[in-house]
Structure 1
Amino acid sequence: MNKDVRVAIIGASGRMGRQLITTTTHTKGVLLGAAIVRKGSSFSGKDAGELAKYENLGVSITDDLKLVMNDFDILIDFTHPDRTLKNLELCLQYHKPMVIGTTGLDKQSQEFIKESAKEIALVYSSNFSIGINLLLKLVEKTTKIIGSDSDIEIIEAHHRHKADSPSGTAQKISATISNEMNWNLDPHTLQAAPDIHGSRTKNTIGLSSIRAGDIIGDHTVMFANIGERIEISHKASNRIIFAKGALKAARWLKAYKTGFFDMIDVLNLHDI
């Protein structure tokens, strides 16, 4: 029995799409089943290897996801919110599991993804880096111990082309802190650090976003107290970390027919 999982990569000509194709070529247990680009893309009809500056992979690029629904087991989607939702609707129709790494999804869209997991298996994460998910657990533990005594700040930085702000990862970090502190803060409303012209408001999380150069992704969580502060940081230097995580999630997800999961589930970090 073939245990390899066949993945389809949508948004194949983008930064993450190209990285996913490249990483797929040297990842055991994963095969590239399909590569999908935007309608009318000049890459349509060419071999997927061209997107990864690799030898021919024997997979013809298409601009129509519906035409290749039988060529893969799991769809990996790092595109845009509106496109991801359309892809999800098609995967529901064909009962195809998905790994979703798209950021910028609003609360309603995230609820739709969770509801869809009653019919298909889904891994949804704002960040597929193993390091970031370890950071989330460290933040959770630190919040539990000193959160009530600290002023908490999240500083995130990404490249100049990233459209959404704050990052999905920053929102996930803030949600982790809020849940631990029972603050019931909506991470979708956190846009900026507290007003620097006034005193600090209690039970708040400051959030600062930087968009500059080619920064792949930096996140720092600061727990500041009188006399000392703790900073927990993660810096991404190569998109391969996200691709490796997404492919790991795809291999893991193959065992499930339905269910909503994140990278904490994939990495089995709940009990740490």
Structure 2
Amino acid sequence: MTVDIVILGAKGRMGTMLVNQTLADEELNLVGACERKGNADGLHYEDCEISDCLEDLLPKVPGAVIIDFTAPEASVAMAKTAAKYGNPAVIGTTGLNPAQQAELAESARKTPIFWAPNMSVGINVLLKIMPLLVQALGENYDIEIVETHHKMKKDSPSGTALKLAQVLAEARGWNYDDVKKHCRDGIIGERPKKEIGVQTLRGGDVVGEHTMYFFGPGERIEVTHRAHSRETFAAGALRAAKWLAGQKPGKLYNMADIF
């Protein structure tokens, strides 16, 4: 049984990679490609609907799973349209604020929706196991995160860095908003014991790098994840799409649900 796929932003860097991986996968069937108005010219795939309007496209591809790596506002609007027509949706967009995440959850009550700020299998395994390290080390180890991305990335800190920091804070029994430190400048005084720093680097064409530091008495532990190619994110999104096709609405799914 194959899963029908619709790719949003099909001409973009991620969109192009998603299209190519979908076409190469015998378990997937590319039935729709969507681009913003005036940008769909030149798109053509066999037995695939091409459109610059998702509202027009979805009635022609009932049940197809939408994959979206666009922008927060666009992803929220897409989820509402997907809910209207009953299409499942996989979202890899980063930078969504709590209100936008709540809107996704509301749409997920009507149709299956999956959202993860990082589709990498490796990152999501780290999200599962890093709390164990935090708990084993104890509170004498200071936690810091440094994330590095390409100069075109618009949100900071990255959604992945924020998710990692939130998970580590929870492992300490802390509310992340109470202990986060995203910038340091000037005479800041001694580092509080109850703090998690997340620092941002931007430059070049770095796909994505996250390093978690655990500074303890007499030693330091570093755990780094480096994404060498966007292919890992595309592969994770398509894996999620296959899984989501068999799910029911009612909650906003994430990678932990697949594992």
Normalised-by-shorter TM-score class: over 0.9
Aligned to 2:41: 44
Deviation string, structure 1 residues 6-45 (Cα, Å, up to 9, x no partner): 111101111111110111122231111111111111x336
TM-score, normalised by the number of residues in structure 1: 0.89
Aligned to 2:57: 68
Cα distance, 1:6–1:105 mapped onto 2, change above 3 Å: same
Matches within 5 A, 1:205-216: 205-216=196-207
Residue 264 (1) aligns with residue 256 (2): yes
Q: Pick the aligned partner of 1:137 from 128, 132, 135.
A: 128
1:155 is displaced (CA, Å) by: 0.6
**Contact kept? 1:107, 1:188, Cα under 8 Å:** no
Aligned to 1:52: none
Number of aligned pairs?
256
Aligned to 1:51: none
1:231 is displaced (CA, Å) by: 0.9
**Contact kept? 2:180, 2:196, Cα under 8 Å:** no
RMSD of Structure 2 on Structure 1 (CA): 1.9
In the alignment, the residues of structure 1 paired with residue 214 and residue 171 of structure 2 have an alpha-carbon distance, to the nearest angstrom, of 14
User: After the TM superposition, which parts of structure 1 deviate over 2 Å for at least 4 consecutive aligned residues?
Assistant: 43-46, 57-61, 186-197
In the alignment, the residues of structure 1 paired with residue 116 and residue 110 of structure 2 have an alpha-carbon distance, to the nearest angstrom, of 18
Deviation string, structure 1 residues 119-177 (Cα, Å, up to 9, x no partner): 11111100000111112123111111114121101110000000000000001001101
Cα distance, 1:190–1:18 mapped onto 2, change above 3 Å: farther
**Contact kept? 2:179, 2:196, Cα under 8 Å:** no
Q: Answer with 116-125 or 189-198: which moved more.
A: 189-198
Q: Answer with 230-239 or 186-195: which moved more.
A: 186-195
1:115 is displaced (CA, Å) by: 2.5
Q: Which amino acid aligns with 1:16?
A: M
Structure 1 SS opposite 2:248: coil
In the alignment, the residues of structure 2 paired with residue 130 and residue 234 of structure 1 have an alpha-carbon distance, to the nearest angstrom, of 11
Structure 2 SS opposite 1:105: coil
TM-score, normalised by the number of residues in structure 2: 0.93
**Contact kept? 1:165, 1:191, Cα under 8 Å:** no
In the alignment, the residues of structure 2 paired with residue 213 and residue 28 of structure 1 have an alpha-carbon distance, to the nearest angstrom, of 35
Q: Pick the aligned partner of 1:84 from 54, 65, 75.
A: 75
